[in-house]
Amino acid sequence: MTEFEQGTAVARRAGAPGVYDAELDAGWRIGGGINGGLLLSLVGRALGDHLGEAGGHPQPVSLSGYYVSPSRPGPAEVHVEQIRSGRTLSTGAATLRQTADDGTSVERLRVLAGYGDLSRSDEDVRTSAKPPQLPPVEQCIGTDAAPPQFLASAELLQRLDLRLDPAYVGWALGKPSGEGKIQGWLRMADGHEPDPLLLLFAVDALPPTTFDLGLFGWTPTVELTVHVRALPAPGWLRVVHSTRNLAGGFLEEDCEIWDSNDRLVAQSRQLAVVPR
Amino acid sequence: MTEFEQGTAVARRAGAPGVYDAELDAGWRIGGGINGGLLLSLVGRALGDHLGEAGGHPQPVSLSGYYVSPSRPGPAEVHVEQIRSGRTLSTGAATLRQTADDGTSVERLRVLAGYGDLSRSDEDVRTSAKPPQLPPVEQCIGTDAAPPQFLASAELLQRLDLRLDPAYVGWALGKPSGEGKIQGWLRMADGHEPDPLLLLFAVDALPPTTFDLGLFGWTPTVELTVHVRALPAPGWLRVVHSTRNLAGGFLEEDCEIWDSNDRLVAQSRQLAVVPR
């Protein structure tokens, strides 16, 4: 089992169809809570198990997560509901809950999702989007160069092999580009190869684009929608994050992931809260 | 009451908190079903009523709708659940259902949403996105020029005053640009001025971008997420739709709406099914 498989593992609860137990590992923390993309992957694994068995659609095509409260290391449970099973897609809903210190059950994340079969071949591919122009991996910046106080609250980064484009890491030296962009090469530190569930995590794994606007502090996610557009090939992923509109206390963060075959394998957008 | 207010009206059901009754009007049909944006606005109105009363957050900030089955003209009901009420946002879920011919209750649309207060002023606005360059309204193309067989299954268009940029209407003459873009000026035919709920409709009101790729036929929406980024000013809206990746039987459609003050007031993305 890879770290990612362990971190997103879910166990069917006996006698309770659609209910899954999980353990949120402290190693996926960032800024005090468990990373939102990791939670989406974990819920996505439970959805795939339930919808795959019920409707024959095991792979995530679209997930929308609304983050209700920060998740903490420890036990969690996922409740999955199948809404509909169609010919090409199954639609489902899921809830991630934890038990608070006072014993009450607290909702962390609510998800809607469409699941399908990404392995079906479809010849018609028209992608006008262009892959990012990145310097070679060896010319990019590893996260071990980040300030120790940042790394101390970003345990997640130790699970990644992330090499950021030097053009957009000026913020680490106090000189953000102001463009609102972060991009780089990404693979898992333990060699876990890309798969659809990993993409749900990878769209939320980079530092926030607000760093490149000179705004530090955390940017809590309100809503994150991911579309998985193709099965990713093995090897490095190229991940591009950008924001084009910071206003009214919120910003959107768009993400594209390209695989080693130059295929656009995931697109996402999240609405996040501007750091104060 | 304007046509849009009538089309999205919901009535609280006595003795059933969170339950709303509605009537889907045939005048909002397109391609045989009720337009997905109109349905999102209607559900959004019910969410605003329920979350506004309960949590003081009456306006849509983010809505994600998963379209489960095509809606038909006639009675419908919306069930709203408040998931959480926080300081700046309330989170809710909603379901739109209709009764099928055989008397069973059928789900049409499932929604997750974040509601807030868009009127709170926030001085920090950094928009690197650029408003679309459109010819003047009088040089754009009204939908009355569309083929009669198209208009016959798009009753919705009669409710709009839509003027499309001639650069991207070549498809009407058999010469699509191939760029995957549609843009134009939009206002309601009966003078209903822009408001947050109207934006939920406006992001799904234009012909699909697939027309500009030379693909005709309908593009059913799988998932549509809208972020309302500011209160819109009165007057014409400028609406831009584009797609950058058609693959695996799906395409994404991005939409931006700019108001008469040159403010980016809404951003949306939907995942839709490629016409066969």
B 88-117 → A contacts, CB under 8 A:
88-89, 91, 93, 107, 110, 112-114
Amino acid at the residue A161: D
Cβ-Cβ contacts under 8 Å, A226 against chain B: none
Rounded-to-integer distance, Cα A71 and Cα B113, Å = 19
A55 pLDDT exceeds 80? no
CB B246 within 8 A of CB B268: no
A266 pLDDT exceeds 90? yes
Of B179, B230, B271, the CB nearest to A227: B271
Q: Is B196 on the interface with A (CB under 8 A)?
A: no
Q: Is A62 on the interface with B (CB under 8 A)?
A: yes
CB A205 within 8 A of CB A182: no
Give the CATH fold of the A1-118 domain: Porin (2.40.160)
Rounded-to-integer distance, Cα B267 and Cα A228, Å = 20
pLDDT given at position B44? 98
A121 pLDDT exceeds 70? no
Classify residue A102 as exposed, middle or buried by CB count within 10 Å of its CB (0-12, 13-18, 19+). exposed
Residue A144 binned pLDDT confidence (cut-offs 50, 70, 90): confident
Selected residue of A112, A177, A262 to mutate for chain B interface (largest B Cβ count, 10 A): A112
Selected residue of A88, A111, A244 to mutate for chain B interface (largest B Cβ count, 10 A): A244
Query: Mean pLDDT over residues B9-18, rounded?
Result: 97
User: SS3 of A267, please?
Assistant: strand
* Sign for the pseudo-dihedral over CA of A28, A32, A37, A43: positive
pLDDT given at position A169? 92
Do the Cβ atoms of A249 and B129 come within 8 Å? Answer: no
pLDDT digits (tens, 9 = 90+) for A216-236: 888 999 999 999 999 999 999
B 115-144 → A contacts, CB under 8 A:
118, 120, 122, 124-129
Query: Mean pLDDT over residues B217-239, rounded?
Result: 96
Give the CATH fold of the B134-276 domain: Porin (2.40.160)
Domain ranges of chain B: 1-117, 134-276
Rounded-to-integer distance, Cα A10 and Cα A46, Å = 6
Query: E strands along chain A, which residues?
Result: 11-12, 19-24, 29-30, 33-34, 59-67, 74-85, 90-99, 105-116, 126-127, 141-142, 160-164, 181-188, 221-228, 237-242, 245-247, 250-258, 264-273
Cβ-Cβ contacts under 8 Å, B124 against chain A: 246-247, 249, 274
Q: Is B248 on the interface with A (CB under 8 A)?
A: yes
pLDDT digits (tens, 9 = 90+) for B140-160: 999 877 767 777 778 898 899
Residue A255: phi and psi, rounded to 5, are: -135, 140
pLDDT given at position A31? 80
CB A24 within 8 A of CB A74: yes
Spacing of C-alpha B230 from chain mean position: 16
B192 pLDDT exceeds 70? yes
Domains A1-118 and A134-276 share a fold: yes
Do the Cβ atoms of A267 and B245 come within 8 Å? Answer: yes
Of A124, A127, A222, the CB nearest to B274: A124
B 143-172 → A contacts, CB under 8 A:
none
Mean of the per-residue pLDDT values of chain B = 94
Amino acid at the residue B264: L
Do the Cβ atoms of A213 and B126 come within 8 Å? Answer: yes
- What tokens does A229 get? 């557009």
Do the Cβ atoms of B246 and A127 come within 8 Å? Answer: yes
Residue A276 binned pLDDT confidence (cut-offs 50, 70, 90): confident
pLDDT given at position A148? 74
A203 pLDDT exceeds 90? yes
Contacts of B72 (CB under 8 A, 6+ apart): B24, B33, B34, B98
Query: Mean pLDDT over residues B31-39, rounded?
Result: 92
pLDDT given at position B269? 98
pLDDT given at position A56? 81
CATH 2.40.160.210 fits B1-117, yes or no: yes
Percent of chain B beyond pLDDT 70?
A: 99
pLDDT digits (tens, 9 = 90+) for A65-109: 999 999 999 999 999 999 999 999 999 999 999 999 999 999 999
Half-sphere exposure at residue A20, Cβ-oriented, CA atoms within 13 angstroms: 24
- What tokens does A210 get? 């607000």
Selected residue of A87, A126, A203 to mutate for chain B interface (largest B Cβ count, 10 A): A126
Of B44, B19, B91, residue with least CA distance to A271: B91
- What tokens does A167 get? 């053009």
Query: Mean pLDDT over residues B76-105, rounded?
Result: 96
B121 pLDDT exceeds 70? no
